Amino acid sequence: MTMNNPIHLSDRCLVRVAGDDARDFLQNVITNDMKNSGAGKLVYSCLLMPQGFFLHDFFIGQDDAGYFLDCETARVDDLLRRFAVFKLRAKVTFARMDGNVYAAGDGIPDPRLATLPPRLYRPETIVAEPVAIYHDICIRQTVPCGSLAMSERDTMADVNLDHLNAVAWDKGCFIGQEVAARMYNLSKAKRRIVTVTAETPIASGAKVFADGKDMGEVRQISSNGLSALAQLKVAVLAANPPVLHTAEKQRLTLSIPAYLPAAV
């Protein structure tokens, strides 16, 4: 994807991962495979609870100084605390590092979808568009943005991460692997993230109904409020989906992302 102006992802920060065991440590705990890492490449991955529920998502990059994480600023302290729990005797350190994250045409391709803007890492601040523009791009393409759309009660399938290159199913063990793999192999997803639109602003957290039944909730709202990511029951995503509306009878139009298979 090409872009005329960079977007400052001001809700993201960088963490340096260093030490002799840095690569092995990450390989043992994250959902993706470190063999996919390298200069000019990003690995998109997650940290899960042992029970398979979502905790954090992040990008892993590599530069001349080693590995770094591109993660959510508001939750970075919790991420580092959880990494420390699993560190044990591993020779690995984690430290916040200076730098800014941008979405820009001359950056590194986003491994989730080829249609998302590349990600650019710069030590200095450059003139750029606000992060809300990036969030709107993600909503249009049904890509959840961290804790704006995902919570610790979600599995990877609940928020489409199993189809956004966040996990390597053939790499072997990682924290929460047994539950995540079972749901993936048995196609037992009960909910999915979709994009919904309306003619009037949608409220964050609004319940979504169909035929009087609770089908899910609105998660992440666009800057103008007219579109959003909603987590809905898979039953809604049938060939002839029912009419969706909020409790205030606000009608919602459903859009299922092309990256989800027909049998979700």
- Kindly state the percentage of the chain with pLDDT values over 70: 95
Instruction: List domains and CATH numbers for the chain.
Output: 7-159 (3.30.70.1400), 190-255 (2.40.30.110)
Span 147-166, average pLDDT: 94
pLDDT at 1: 47
pLDDT at 242: 77
Span 41-55, average pLDDT: 95
Residues in the chain: 264
Give the Cα separation of 138 and 202 in Å (integer): 17
- Give SS3 for 184: helix
pLDDT tens figures, 107-127 = 999 999 999 999 999 999 999
Angular region, 178: left φ>0, alpha ψ -120 to 50, beta rest:
alpha
Tell me: pLDDT of 12 over 80: yes
165: which residues sit within 8 A by CB, 6+ positions away? 32, 44, 111, 112
The residues facing 219 across adjacent strands are none
Burial of 21 (0-12, 13-18, 19+ CB in 10 A): middle
pLDDT at 199: 96
144: which residues sit within 8 A by CB, 6+ positions away? 138, 150, 159, 160, 161, 193, 219, 220, 229
Q: Which of 4-18, 193-207, 239-253 shows the lowest mean pLDDT across its residues?
A: 239-253
pLDDT at 186: 67
Of 189, 239, 188, 185, give the one whose Cα is nearest residue 216. Answer: 189
Answer yes or no: pTM beyond 0.85: yes
pLDDT tens figures, 209-232 = 998 899 999 999 999 999 999 999
Residue 99's pLDDT band (boundaries 50, 70, 90)?
very high
Give the Cα separation of 30 and 58 in Å (integer): 10
Q: Which of 75-79, 156-160, 165-169, 187-191 shows the lowest mean pLDDT across its residues?
A: 187-191
Strand spans (E) along 65-205: 66-72, 93-97, 100-108, 119-122, 191-197
Contact 16, 97 (CB under 8 A): yes
